[in-house]
Amino acid sequence: MKLSKIVLAMGLVAGISACSQQPPASQLPQGVKLITEHTQQKDGVSVPYKKYQLDNGLTVVVHEDHSDPLVHVDVTYHVGSAREELGKSGFAHFFEHMMFQGSENVGDEEHFRIVTEAGGTLNGTTNSDRTNYFQTVPSNQLEKMLWLEADRMGFLLDAVTEQKFEVQRETVKNERGQRVDNRPYGRLGERVSQALYPVGHPYSWPVIGYMDDLNRANVNDVKAFFLRWYGPNNATVTIGGAVTANEVLPLVEQYFGSIPRGPDVTAAPKQPVSLDSDRYISMEDNVHLPLIYMSYPTVYLRHEDEAALDVLAEILGGGKNSIFYKNLVKTQIAVQANVNHPCAELACTFNLLALPHPASGKNLADIEALIRQSLTEFEQRGVNDDDLLKVKAQMEANTIYGLQSVSGKVSQLAINETLTGNPDNLQNDLNRVNKVSKEDVMRVYNTYLKGKGSVVMSVVPRGKLDLIAAADNFSPQVMDFGGPSQTSAEDLQVRRATDDFDRSVEPQAGVNPAVTVPAYWQSSLDNGIKVLGAASDETPTTAMLLKLNSGLYYESPDKTGLSSMLTAMLNEDTTNFTGEEIALELEKLGSYISISSSDEHIQLYVLSLSKNLDKTIDLLMEKMLRPAFKEDDFNRLKQQRLQGIQQSEKNAGYLASNAFRKLMYGDSILGQPGGGTLASVTNLSLEDVKAYYQSHFKPDGGQLIVVSDLAKTKLQQAIAPLTGFTGTAPAVNVQVPADSSRGSVIYLVHKDDSPQSEIRIGKRSLSEDITGEYFKTGLANFTIGGNFNSRINLNLREDKGYTYGARTGFSADGYTGVFVASAAVRADATAASVKEFIDELNRFSAEGVTDPELAFMRRALNQRDALKYETPNAKLGFLAQILQHDLAPTFVDERNAIIANISKQQINQLAQQHFDPKEMVIVVVGDSAVLRPELEALGYPVEDLSL
């Protein structure tokens, strides 16, 4: 398993628990048979489970984990974009959308409402090989989740209407616009796949599909796709959490057992490819920096050479000790350079990427030559001991870090069962990497890269084709698939289930499980750092968050970005070690140290195996107390920051957020982006950073939150070196300027050729409190724009198809706050979307909530606590709030009481006071020449705004 996969697995794998006794096969529900039972292994890493199969072919995997009162339900169908046909791309992803639109016994938009009301979270995802649907809920909600999933597996098609089809087709177009067409380099992946794979290869088209294909389709095409691939015999239901197999199996058999089998599904053949020569392709894009991307075809998922290729990718381009970093980034030839080896079920690719630094004077042909020279250097250098040690250490650590959340563990079991037939592959993956030798790495380099053909993609700013690596020598075949589809309802072979119970009756949940606030202890260090610690014994790990009183608010407007630049410098050389040496030691420990800044804090985050905590803290202290502050490091980081800002200015969302912040707070420090502006970062000097470090990087008043399996006394010994960090920083002096924003004015920010527009509508609002008016406005916001089933999201996304998602919310700190409504919308629906936003806000301000909406909010928010404290990182965030605001743990009960007792009248008063759009500014980012007349027609003054 590659490191990129393992990082993903940190959120995809969770705690190990003992299995209960399995009943004899004769006691299993009729129609259910036991396939295998996998118990906790004494040696190595394992996730115990029991695997069953129903008579209709449905695979069921159950994992018991009683550490938290939660259950996670995942339904994975072995179908992704690779199962589509030429001319019918995007169907798998499209059907993911349709699966949330209601089924025979679940009303339109009810799936989201029911899960949200249960205090849970949910989503669905599609990739080339599978589609999955999942929810995490309090354990008393299990039966309801199985009822929901079974209803859309077996009783969906009659609820798929022409209107729903058309709305979701527009939603998918919006998603593509937001994630692909309106994003810098967004089309890179699909262009490379076109060139890498032959016509008709399952990976030759993008997962989201081509819009021409979806435009040709009709509702019967997607129904046919469902009937072909969404049978129970092509699905795995994986359930994990505070449940037993004895509880789960009767419910699974009841709700899924009568669903008829679908057509037989055979395994798709592995389809790795090779290229006889390099294929050069290029594209102009609305970007600041050119980019070169080289993609070599390799093997397929779990091929015997996959692990060695993963190690090779790490050596070439994984972090500060990689050859790419040394040759391209450290030398300031490139702003960014990396290598990865993503693998899918049928084929894998080995990808090399670099963005040249403008000051280097290099075009993409020059960068390609340097990349090839770096490959030759590796060939001559070979593999050293540390290369293997760090990869294997990171693999072990990341696997252990992953054993924390039930949702992650279930997802891991589900994908492994779907793609390999073996739900628990963790130790197998560790073994594969641990067996990789130096000779293996050199062999795969010679086999798959040396002298082999690749796709070489150049992406350049518009009008800069002179920068490409080489002239295009490949063009994709143009396909003509004719006009609109003629698939009719008569072509469908519909399957129907027969039941002996009433599926229209929604199951009732049992008593809410008891949820307790994590026990914690408090102390302080002699240097003024307050400490709050909590135990988490599910994994032998320690997570720490140190918050120092510094950040944007401690800067001056002409020097914004200073604290952010300091944190970047703290990740470079120290007086004793190079940044590369420290990075290598952390990698060999399997530890992570991240240093970042925010408005009010510099934050130092540490994640370590507890056995390596002392060594990790030694490295943390080296970074904190002995930075070298070298001129070369500063110049490189400063140039990277300047290029990053210019690149961000090609992103409509970035422009919209900065414009809104500027309108709220003007030229004050509150109106500045945390990373700085082109002008402010240009003004920064190394002496500024040194002076800021000396005056502001101090512990007094700091906060340390620690979550660990170590006993309190051992943990206190481990953090004792922090007392060597001393001093007091100047107090913050935040001057909140008077609100000079003008309501009911549209401020237009130009972004040329924008297929989507970004909208921000809002005003200044309350500063943060824990149980006061600010908290209560959040309760009011839940109805208008604070959840998927909110009025605004249902209007703009589900009813109109204008956007992929619309939302509203309050954000604040101790000094000030704002309310903002936001969405990325179709460019041709910009004015209409602004009108819908305003109309919804007007209605909510004038009329408030309905009784059903108030009841929905109460049920949804009062049951969420079970999800708040599950993982060490979740505990860190929760405990940080307690420490920062000096809260007693009873604040949770106080908030729950407010949610339970706040009246409709109170909510309506808040709505009237805080949601009146006449007080709000309107920011629109898009093509101003096109948008101006449409926006002026709304009757608002329209003013150009430059940033």
3-state secondary structure 792-816: HHHHHHHHCCCEEEEEEEEEECCCC
pLDDT of res. 135: 96
- Tokens 């900065």 map to which residue? 658
Sequence-distant (6+) residues with CB within 8 A of 686 are: 629, 631, 634
- The residue-averaged pLDDT of 139-156 equals 96
CA 138, CA 118: separation in Å to the nearest integer?
A: 7
Give me the CATH topology for the region 746-872+885-944.
Cytochrome Bc1 Complex; Chain A, domain 1 (3.30.830)
CA 792, CA 803: separation in Å to the nearest integer?
A: 11
- The residue-averaged pLDDT of 427-437 equals 90
How many helices, marked H, and strands, marked E, lie in the chain?
Answer: 32, 24
pLDDT of 403 over the 80 cut: no
Distance spanning both ends of the chain, measured CA to CA:
45
22 CB neighbour count, 10 Å cutoff: 16
Mean pLDDT of the chain: 92
Q: What is the pLDDT of residues 740-785, one digit of tens each?
A: 999 999 999 999 888 899 999 999 999 999 999 999 999 999 999 9
pLDDT of res. 252: 97
SS3 of 521, please? strand
pLDDT of 549 over the 90 cut: yes
SS3 of 730, please? coil
- Among candidate residues 454, 318, 551, 420, the one with its CA nearest the CA of residue 78: 420
Would you state the structure tokens that stand for residue 378, as one six-digit string?
């590796």
- The residue-averaged pLDDT of 900-905 equals 96
pLDDT of res. 42: 73
- Among candidate residues 859, 900, 882, 908, the one with its CA nearest the CA of residue 770: 882
Find out whether 765 and 818 touch, Cβ atoms under 8 Å. Answer: yes
Q: What is the pLDDT of residues 496-515, one digit of tens each?
A: 888 889 999 999 988 888 77
What is the domain partition of the chain in residue ranges? Answer: 279-467, 520-724, 746-872+885-944
Kindly state the DSSP code that residue 165 receives in the 8-state scheme.
Answer: H
Would you state the structure tokens that stand for residue 602, as one six-digit string?
């510099």
pLDDT band at residue 14, thresholds of 50, 70 and 90?
very low
Q: What are the distances in angstroms from CA 305 to CA 440, 443, 444, 557, 925?
A: 8, 9, 7, 53, 47
Q: What are the distances in angstroms from CA 801 to CA 113, 535, 833?
A: 19, 47, 10
- Among candidate residues 776, 741, 777, 774, the one with its CA nearest the CA of residue 760: 741
List the beta strands (DSSP E) in 27-129: 32-38, 49-54, 59-64, 70-77, 121-126
pLDDT band at residue 15, thresholds of 50, 70 and 90?
very low
pLDDT of res. 478: 87
843 CB neighbour count, 10 Å cutoff: 14
The answer to whether the 279-467 and 520-724 domains have the same CATH topology is yes
Q: Name the helix (H) or strand (E) containing 707.
A: strand 703-708
pLDDT of 98 over the 80 cut: yes
How many CA within 13 A on the CB side of residue 215? 7
Q: Which residues pair with 239 in a beta bridge?
A: 62, 73
SS3 of 356, please? strand
Q: Please state which CATH number belongs to domain 520-724.
A: 3.30.830.10
Q: What are the distances in angstroms from CA 402 to CA 41, 389, 584, 705, 922?
A: 17, 20, 22, 20, 43
Indicate the class that CATH gives domain 279-467. alpha beta
pLDDT of res. 24: 53
Percent of the chain residues topping a pLDDT of 90: 81
Q: What are the distances in angstroms from CA 936 to CA 73, 831, 947?
A: 49, 9, 21
pLDDT of 18 over the 60 cut: no
pLDDT of res. 394: 87
Say which amino acid occupies 484. P
pLDDT of res. 875: 86
CA 146, CA 144: separation in Å to the nearest integer?
A: 5
CA 225, CA 430: separation in Å to the nearest integer?
A: 37
Predicted TM-score (pTM) of this structure: 0.91
Q: What are the distances in angstroms from CA 448 to CA 4, 195, 348, 591, 753?
A: 20, 18, 11, 31, 40
Q: Name the helix (H) or strand (E) containing 355.
A: strand 349-356
- Among candidate residues 836, 625, 590, 599, the one with its CA nearest the CA of residue 724: 625
pLDDT of res. 758: 97
CA 731, CA 748: separation in Å to the nearest integer?
A: 38
8: alpha, beta or left, given left = phi > 0 and alpha = psi -120 to 50? alpha
Q: Which residues pair with 136 in a beta bridge?
A: 72, 121
Say which amino acid occupies 676. G
Q: What are the distances in angstroms from CA 783 to CA 715, 760, 806, 911?
A: 44, 18, 13, 10
CA 445, CA 438: separation in Å to the nearest integer?
A: 11
Find out whether 422 and 244 touch, Cβ atoms under 8 Å. Answer: no
- The residue-averaged pLDDT of 174-185 equals 88
Would you state the structure tokens that stand for residue 477, as one six-digit string?
């075949």
Strand order in the sheet with 49-54: 32-38, 49-54, 59-64, 235-241, 70-77, 131-138, 121-126
- Tokens 């055979």 map to which residue? 266
738 CB neighbour count, 10 Å cutoff: 7
Q: What is the pLDDT of residues 286-329, one digit of tens each?
A: 999 999 999 999 999 999 999 999 999 999 999 899 999 999 99
pLDDT of res. 454: 98
SS3 of 542, please? strand
Q: Measure the CA dihedral 64/66/72/73, to 10°.
A: 40
pLDDT band at residue 865, thresholds of 50, 70 and 90?
confident
Measured at the CA of 481, the angle between CA 478 and CA 484, to 5 degrees, comes to 140
526 CB neighbour count, 10 Å cutoff: 10
Q: Name the helix (H) or strand (E) containing 442.
A: helix 438-448
pLDDT of res. 12: 28
For the chain, what's the residue count?
947
Q: What is the pLDDT of residues 785-809, one digit of tens each?
A: 999 999 999 999 999 999 999 999 9
CA 572, CA 886: separation in Å to the nearest integer?
A: 34
Q: What is the pLDDT of residues 439-476, one digit of tens each?
A: 999 999 999 999 999 999 999 999 999 999 999 999 99
Q: What is the pLDDT of residues 576-598, one digit of tens each?
A: 999 999 999 999 999 999 999 99
- The residue-averaged pLDDT of 668-691 equals 96
pLDDT of 25 over the 90 cut: no
715: alpha, beta or left, given left = phi > 0 and alpha = psi -120 to 50? alpha
pLDDT band at residue 2, thresholds of 50, 70 and 90?
very low
